[in-house]
Structure 1
Amino acid sequence: MPIVKKKKHVSKKGKKEWRKYCDIKDVEDFLEDQRLEERLGKFDTKPDSELFVVDTGGADGEQQDGQKEPEKPLSAKQRRRAKLAAPPKCFEILQSTSKVQDPNAKRNHVNPIGTRPTALSKITEARKEKKGAYEKKLELARKNRKIAFDKKKKAKIARQTFGMDVWGDSVPEAKGIPSTLVGDFISPEAQLHNVLPERRLRPKPPLARTVVARSKVAPPHPGVSYNPSYEEHQALLRDVVSHEEQLMKREQHLLRVTTGMFSRVTEKQRDENWRKEMSAGLPTAEEPEDKSDADTDDEVKSVNPPVKNKKKDHKARRKQKEQILEKERLKRAKIDKKKISDIYRLRKLQVAIKTTESQQEVERTQRRSKRLQVEATAPPQLSGHKTAKPEPDFVEPATLTGDLRNITSSTNLLKERYQSLQHRGAIAASRLMMKKKKRVKSYFKAGHKVTDQDVEKYVKDFKANTAAAKAKAKAKV
């Protein structure tokens, strides 16, 4: 005999107890089935072809009498062709799989923007068709397809020559690797590491254009000769003077825009100016802090006087309107007069425009020729530093000897050749980097062997060096 459990009575007064002790599974199952039918559709509304499958084969899979032969499986190409009509797999998530009907059955269909041609787009399309833009586009596409086809066809043509050594470039000996390092037990990195520098697989940069175009030794000025003529020596002297004037002008400009912009004051005047600036606003002896009550006035005076709301009468308003109309009339008359004067000035404006254009063309031609000349003669920019211009060589008239026996060289041959290589672009321009000398401090080390004469000599030398340093700094300023 089965044991019947006694039904347990619990309180369902609160919401928590009601959810805990009430069995609502049948209601949830019903609602879940109802939602499933809404998504997939009801079974009584579906046709039999979706619910049942007709078995056309026999018990052993053989064909029954009166049935068609089974279709042959499609090839891979046919399956790909069949998939073209179907939407892409990536767009399946955007399609709705629910069978729930639209609650708003009378929803208006709105075409997306751009599907319906507008009046402006129709005019634009007609203008393009009249100009023949579409024909040009089709012709260009046809031409591109022909070029691509020819390129593909050319790539498919088999090579007709078989005399080339396929493995010639990849042989280790051809790359410059020593024969002692060629082997299976040595890695390619180690082999390439030991390649000789002249056999490295690195492209050698070509020489600069100016290296080939310019002469290795530039002809000097005729005035530099040991026995020059008077005219040539004077021409060289004028060049040197103009060069020095440019340097002096540049130095004066730098001095004017740096040190010359600030005025020098004495230490006493500087301290006085600082005291005045710091004590601005503080009470002084002439102006005591406490003022008498007679100076103060309790009456508050307004900065702006009160404004009265005075209305304009009819006469004033009529006069104001007449002034505005007269001003507008004069403005229009001035504009009309300017239009008439501009019509008479058209011929003069055309002449001025033609003159300006011709002058601009001449200036443009001059600038172009000057730029080409500078590019042809300027040294190449191989580094961040610019190539220094050579200083003009000049021999004073008093040092001219007139023969080669007593001549003295004024330039360094090694430096001149180095600068020539930089100007021709054979080597990159550089800058002389001088290390800053460290300031060495001297100390006096006292000892039992130091005499009074040594101390006096040290103090005397120290004072002399300090005075010399101050004088040098003052001379620089």
Structure 2
Amino acid sequence: MKSTGRPKPKKISKHKKKGWKTIDSTALEDFLDERSFEERTGGTISDKSNSELFFIDKQVDLTTTDGEKPNRRNKKLRCFSILEPDPRIKAVNLGKSSKSQNIKRLHPDMKKRKIDKEEKLFEAELNKFHTRNLRQRKYRKNAPNLLVKDYDLWKDLSDTPKEGEDHILDVTITKPVKPPKNHYKKPSAVPAVTDPHPGMSYNPTYGDHQNLLGKALRVELKKKKDEEKIQKETVLKKIEVEEKVKNKEVKKDKDETSEEDEEMSDEDLMSTGLNPAVRREDKKSYKQKQHDWKVKIRARQKNALKSRRIRESEVYRIKTFNKEFKEKEQITKKRMKKKQRLEKREVFKTKRLGHAKFEDADIDLQLGKELSGSLRKLKPEGNIMSDRYKSYQKRNIIPAPAGIQKRKLAHVKFYEKRGHREISEQDAAKNKK
């Protein structure tokens, strides 16, 4: 049996040049590589001194203290070991969601639509988030500096709220009530207190006083005119009522005569018949019907061709169309300007808030004889309360009060019984005797 041990090295003669190639030169190559590496990295280690190779550590390690082991500090507590994952316990298999399985079963087109829908929803949410962030940034830029506050030197400290009073508001975070859009907008641009007419002064000029008197006269004339109009209308209504009564009586007589005529005509119809008899000669043949049908189709085709030609010829009317569009734009601009002007005027007008219409208060004035020329002899006119009340009505804050309306009473029909009537007649006869 052959031995399976380490092979013996070959015996080669080294004194001849031929045997040099078989010499093992690995140790020499390693030495040369190490020497070249040391030269590259700062010189040979054997040539360097101890101060260059070693240094003395003089700093104190603050992490560890005397009598305390460093490993014990970093050691984990055993009570928290239950929270760490155990490699021996296998993960729970939750299974696939029904939603994902349903998507897989869907048709590819339906699946694509569903995915696109989800992507769109995600994009919409992202856009909403970005817009919200932008809004917040703008608000932060334009927000007033809350740190700068006015300090009142003479403020009474007893009025200041104590600590803990707003505790409920801080905890519950109650939002302030959102007012409506027109909450801070005034209902009318009319000033609360208007300047009085210069003719109302205790010592006015002749022109101002005459102007005020003329204004009051115009108001009174208008009232008188309205009263005359109402009287005229009431008289006309009375005449109309009388005419209606007469017309009703005439109509009754006519209706009676017309009923008699209708009875006679009904008898004639019953004898003659409702519809006349249809003749065979008047009926259309198949040939006539076909001819009429063809004529209708030709007319329809002719109208279609005509409308098509008109549509094609409209290409050459582009200039006229442009002209018409410009004219329409100018008209719309004019209307918009007019609308803006009317809106500006409507701000100063009083609206009808209730049933009644607003009426201006009577002008407070004094005649030429009543003017004194001094404040001592001045006679007071008007009332502050009524003036403020009318001002509120004029500024669309409260509605104008409706007049006292008459209550409509039920129209009861009275009639006398026959037995009562006979007794009353007998009593009347006795009294005559």
Q: Answer yes or no: same fold by TM over 0.5.
A: no
Higher RCO, 1 vs 2 (CA within 8 Å, ≥6 residues apart): 2
Instruction: Calculate the TM-score normalised by the size of structure 2.
Output: 0.41
Q: Whose Rg is larger?
A: 2
TM-score of the pair, normalised by structure 1: 0.38
